[in-house]
Amino acid sequence: MELIIRGKDIYGNSKSKSSLIKCLQQEIEYISKLPDEAKILNQGDDYIFFTVDPKDKDDRKFYKSLGFRRESE
């Protein structure tokens, strides 16, 4: 399963320093919830790819709740 985070989406529509900080804090909280076993591919462009291999149906359901999708979707 795969999750893609796009760099330009991190800052939302921020127009102030405090808004930027809030967006970054939300992103930190979100990334902290991702499983440690997730593999990260950062190609140095605008996208960061996280991949996981679910062991069973419960894993798949949990990963889906975090935003992961099957790679073919």
Q: Which domain holds residue 30?
A: 2-65
Q: Give the pLDDT of residue 8.
A: 77
DSSP codes joined into one string, 8-33: GGTTTT--SHHHHHHHHHHHHHHHHH
Q: Give the pLDDT of residue 49.
A: 93
Structure tokens that stand for 33 in this block: 């919830």
Question: Alpha-carbon distance 57 to 73, whole Å?
Answer: 18
pLDDT per residue as tens, the chain (73 positions) = 999 998 877 887 888 999 999 999 999 999 999 999 999 999 888 899 999 999 999 999 999 999 999 986 5
> 48 lies in a domain?
yes
> 36 lies in a domain?
yes
pTM of the model: 0.79
